[in-house]
Chain A
Amino acid sequence: MGRYALFLGCQIPMRIPSVEIASRSVFEKLGLEMSDLRGYSCCPEPVISRLLDEKVWLTVSARNITLAEELGLDLATLCNGCYETLLEANAILKRDQEMRKQVNDILMRYGRKYRGTVDVKHIVEVLYEDVGLEKIEEHVVKPLKIRVALHYGCHLYREPNGGDIMRKPNMMRGLTEVTGATVVNYGLERLCCGYPSMQVDEEFSLNQRLLPKLRRIMDAGADAVILTCPACNIQFETGQILLRARGIRFNIPCLNLMELLALSFGVPYEKLHLEVHRSPVLQFAKRLEGN
């Protein structure tokens, strides 16, 4: 079975460690070997660093990729943001020799060199393409009889070499359905959750982005929202708290795909530390256990 360099990022290990616990449990069950990447830094964050200065974004990202090159392993990411940064930086550096030279001129001062020898994969690609739904299904010991809405996250759609933008969202859907869950369509899947605009205008972010999504998700009769992006996860959770403070009462559990997989694999919910979520994920998991 495959071996990867695991790029944890900042948000998952620090703000939603339950996703990391769930991921590690899933890797163990599937026999996926993940090497932690030593000395990695922020990917760096695609929305901020790249918008301010593309060169610093590319240089710091190239440095992270060289860490995986040293291990001779492809990079696997859990977070959509890290995925987009590392995927696109890797694509630019593989294609643009002039840019690669400029970046390497800087990196070589510090004893590193980007070579372009590894690929970057999102965890849904690793699970769907390298492990396969059939093998995953064998591990589903507790099929989940629930209805869920998917929020794919804008950065999951990126295909720098011009592929089908629904390629990875469809994989996420397949991986959700393999747990036994039914995916409900609500029509606003592609709309951004509002996380990036939260930093500029909270009212706009909540009322124009998150609220229409939540309304449609509830109308579609979903029991939970499934996400892969930690930033979207945080927006869905803190957003619901902030909306409640404004008298709009939503309280739907929002959990990561890896947590859903772990629950369907029979990992006890106590082990996952779901209490780190700010939506009722723990209560949701308890109810599932009772069923």
Chain B
Amino acid sequence: MVYSMSQKEEFEVVNRVDPAFKRAVSGMHGAEKISLCFQCGTCTAGCPISRFNDFYNPRRIARMIQLGLKDRLLSNDALWLCTTCYTCIDNCPQGVEMAYIIRALRNITVEERKVMPTIYKQMLSNILKTGYVYVISELRIKRRIQHGLPPLPKSDSKQIAKLFDATHISDILERAETFDRVD
């Protein structure tokens, strides 16, 4: 028996593909060369993450972007496993900068799905509130003086908060959902 798709099934397959997605990705910094990937897999061979996670395979992620499988890509938390070691970039024979492309995907995920790892939300909120990513305790400031170091220049946290507002990240930070683990 020859299998044939019903019209509804066909519609669903087409609907899962977003042909404009690769152009949206390639419009972001560092992701310009996504079309140059010819699937050799050198990125994945050198990737210290891909051997521990089935989804996190830079070669396949590149292909999924080219094909426009946007929903499947952005709904998978494994995108956050990249540790930005840049081994993939250093090895790519086509000059495709996979780690930057993963970064572009994360930017799009945050913008569209408003979701991020809990610790990232905390750290970004720290910059927003204090100007520094690590909250600086009084004890540490005292210890600096004991060590004979000059006072640390004060951060202009009010201005930083305004910059956060102007780039709309404050808004996203307020609403973003978080997760603690990637399964």
Contact = CB atoms under 8 A, between A and B. Distances in A.
B182 interface: yes
Nearest to B53: A204
A291 interface: no
Q: Please indicate which of the listed interface residues B28, B103, B116, B136 has the most CB atoms of chain A within 10 Å of its own CB.
A: B103
A21 B80 contact: no
B86 A40 contact: no
B134 interface: yes
B144 A199 contact: no
Nearest to B103: A51
Nearest to B155: A41
A1 interface: no
Given A54-B28, A56-B163, A165 B90 contact: yes
A49 B166 CA distance: 15
Contact of A42 (B110, B131, B159): B131
A122 to B, nearest CB: 16
Contact of A106 (B28, B148, B163): B163
Interface stretch (B7-15, B57-65, B120-128): B120-128
A52 B182 contact: no
A290 interface: no
Contacts of A191: 48, 85
A20 B160 CA distance: 25
Interface residues on B, range: 35 or more
Interface string A19-58: 0110010000000000011111110111111111111100
Nearest to A107: B163
A209 B117 CA distance: 21
B163 A59 contact: yes
B119 A199 contact: yes
Contacts of A50: 103
Interface in A187-217: 190-192, 194-197, 199-201, 204, 208-209
A41 B120 contact: no
Interface residues on A, range: 35 or more
A196 B84 contact: yes
Contacts of A49: 123-124, 127, 133
A52 B169 contact: yes
B107 interface: yes
A195 B111 CA distance: 25
A60 interface: yes
A24 B147 CA distance: 12
Contacts of A157: 86, 90
Interface in B75-89: 80-81, 83-87
A53 B117 contact: no
Interface string B17-39: 00000000000110000000000
B52 A48 contact: no
A15 interface: yes
Nearest to B172: A53
Given A157-B86, A200-B81, A200-B181, A56 B164 contact: yes
A41 B167 contact: no
Contact of B147 (A17, A47, A54, A107): A17
A154 interface: yes
Interface of A: 8, 10-11, 13-15, 17-18, 20-21, 24, 36-42, 44-56, 59-60, 63, 92, 106-107, 109-110, 154, 157-158, 165, 190-192, 194-197, 199-201, 204, 208-209, 273
19 contacts: A11-B134, A13-B144, A15-B134, A17-B147, A18-B147, A48-B123, A49-B127, A51-B106, A52-B172, A56-B163, A56-B164, A92-B29, A106-B166, A154-B83, A165-B90, A190-B85, A192-B83, A196-B83, A208-B48
Given A21-B148, A158-B86, A192-B87, 19 more contacts: A18-B147, A39-B153, A42-B155, A48-B123, A49-B123, A49-B124, A49-B127, A52-B116, A53-B110, A53-B111, A56-B164, A59-B167, A110-B162, A165-B90, A190-B85, A190-B87, A195-B83, A196-B84, A200-B80
